[in-house]
Each structure stands twice: as structure tokens, then as C-alpha cells.
Structure 1
Amino acid sequence: MNIEYRPLLPEESQMYRHIRLESLQKFPESFGITYEEAIKNEKLRIEYDIENQSADRFVVGAFAEDRLIGICTFVKNEDGHGNIYQLYVKEAFQGNNAGARLIGKLIDEASTRFGDMEICLEVKKTNLKAYGLYKKLGFVEINGDLQNKDDSALVMRYEPD
């Protein structure tokens, strides 16, 4: 099956909402917001960003036959650093490197838009599958001020070879 990886277009914000809510239902322990909290919002923050094609925030999607099957979100902070959020791939498509390809496309897109920059992410300590993927892709644990306050997650920074 051919899977296309690209930034979402304004008219795809509802597709994003659907898959984002699905991710919160299926893996509530992996994200910083619950499904119940998210569903109360008429629009999620990232939906607005997709519709307005925000320069500092974008979502890369994985599409199988025009169906959105995975997402990964990038946010550039005020200090010029980038963060990766919301990596999710539908269960039927997991195990085929879709998550790795989403992150790769997201990093390529961020590099094209912003040049060389520090890119970080957080991963729950209990999410060993995601942690292993991030290590394989060149992310390393970092300590200090960026560390998660409640100690339930690790902060990792992208350090390519």
C-alpha cells in the first residue's frame, strides 16, 4: 500500500480532529489532555493552525488512499526551538514504519521552513514502544530545566548523526 506523507491542508482540519480524538480515546495515558477535555472544545488549537496555515505550527499527515491514518505535530516556540507533539498512527497501520516516516517528514519540513534548530519531544516513561522509536531516530534524553515537572515523562532532543 502506498502511503503519502505531507503537511495537512486547510480543508483537512476535520480529518485531523477525528484522528486526534481517536488517539486520545485509544491511548489516554500517552497524551497531556484527555478525550473528555478535548471533546468540549468546538475546535482544537491545532485545527485553527491547520486552517490558517500557521507558519510556526503544522501537522504532517500520513495518507493511505486519501484516508488520514497518522499525524505528527510541530510547534516552534518563541525562543526558536521546535517541539514534536501528538504522534499517532492508526492501529491497522502500526508496525510498518509509518511513525518513523511521519517524524522524518516533520523534521524535513521544519528544516526547510526554519533551518537548523533544536527539536525536542516528551515521551511518557511508560511508553516504551515510542521511546524505542525515538532513540532509533536519533533522539537522546536530556536533563535540566526542560525535564517534565511531574517526572512522568522524559524530554528528548533530536541529535542526528
Structure 2
Amino acid sequence: MNIHYRKLLPGESKIYRSIRLESLKKFPESFGADYNEALKTEKFRIEYDIENELAERFVVGAFNDGQLIGICTFVKDEYGRGNIYQMYVKEEYQGNNIGLNLIQKVIKEAYNQFKNIEIYLEVKNDNFKAFKLYEKAGFVEVDKSEQDEMDSNIMMKYSHS
């Protein structure tokens, strides 16, 4: 495998859309979006963001010999916090640290642009594989008192200590 990681370029919004739809179809329980609803969406917000190269909203892709095999999206919110969304690696490439490398590249890119920004993500409380990956990448669970008791997600914060 010849894997490299970089931000998606404006002309790559269509390949982003394709892999995003694949992620929703194959792992519907892992994401907060619905595949059938997504199919009806003419253009995702992130597609616009990729095309316009917005600093505060970007997607890092993992490429194997030019083919997009994984994505990880970063969004700086209105509170100045960074959020990681849409972490996905094609099934046949999972287990090769591609997800970990994607997250690390997103964190590095975010810190290059926004210095000491706080970075968060959410993971479904029954997605143990993803939870372990995020821990390995340096995320720690946010104090439960700060989370909604009814929420089925676990909030995690990047700790670069």
C-alpha cells in the first residue's frame, strides 16, 4: 500500500460525496445522517466547503495510489472550538492505522491554522472500536456531567499532554 494524506482539493468534492454516501450506507449506525436522506441532497455543505477551500471547514483524505479510501472532516464552530466529524475508512483498508493517521493529520492541520484550538468529537457509546481509536489518537472522554444524559454519544476532547 502506498497511502498518503492531504486536504481534499476543490475539484475533489464529487469523490468526497461518493465516499461519504458509502460510509452512510455501510455503517448507518455510526453516523448521525441517514443514507436515503443524503441521497436526496443535491450537494452537501461540506462539498461547498471543499470547493471553496474554507479554512475552518476541511476534509483530509487518505489516498492509496490516487484512490480516496478514507476521510476525516474538521469544522471550526461558532464558539471557536474544533470538531471532528465523518471519520471513515473503506472496510478493506481498516486495521492498518489509516484512521489514526487521518485523525492525526486533521489535528496537525487544525493546529497549523488555529494554534491552540480545542478539538472535540463524538462517538456512539456502543462503538468501542472507534472509541479505542480516538483514545489512541489522544482523545479523552469529557466529564459526564457536561454531557446530556439522554445522548447516546460520548463526547471526547483532544488532549495533547
- Is the pair's TM-score, using the shorter chain for normalization, greater than 0.5? yes
What is residue 159 of structure 2 aligned with on the other side? 159
Aligned to 2:77: 77
Matches within 5 A, 1:7-156: 7-143=7-143, 147-148=147-148, 150-156=150-156
Q: Please give the alpha-carbon distance, in whole angstroms, between the structure 2 residues aligned to 1:150 and 1:73.
A: 25
Which stretches of structure 1, 4 residues or more, deviate above 6 A after TM superposition?
none
Please list the CA deviations of residues 5-58 of structure 1 after superposition, one character each: whole Å capped at 9, or x if unmatched: 000000000000000000000000111111011111000110000001112100
Aligned length: 161
For 2:14 and 2:150, the matched residues in 1 are separated by 32
SS of equivalent to 2:72: strand
Asked if structure 2 preserves the Cα contact closer than 8 Å seen for 1:8 and 1:59, the reply is: yes
Taking the aligned partners of 1:62 and 1:150, their CA distance within structure 2 comes to 34
Distance 1:3 1:54, change over 3 A: same
Give 1:147 shift. Answer: 2.3
Where 2:69 maps in the other structure, the secondary structure is strand
Q: Aligned letter for 2:89?
A: V
TM-score for both structures, normalised by structure 2: 0.96
Structure 2 gaps, min length 5 = none
Distance 2:56 2:150 in 1: 27
SS at match of 1:79: coil
Q: Using the aligned pairs only, state the percent identity.
A: 62
2: CA distance between counterparts of 1:146 and 1:90?
A: 33
CA shift in 2, pair 1:28/1:141, >3 Å: same
Matched letter for residue 101 of structure 2: R
* TM-score, structure 1 as length reference: 0.96
Give the 3 Å change call, closer, same or farther, for CA 57–157 of structure 1 in structure 2. Answer: same
In structure 1, the gaps of 5 or more residues are none
Q: CA deviation at 1:143?
A: 2.9
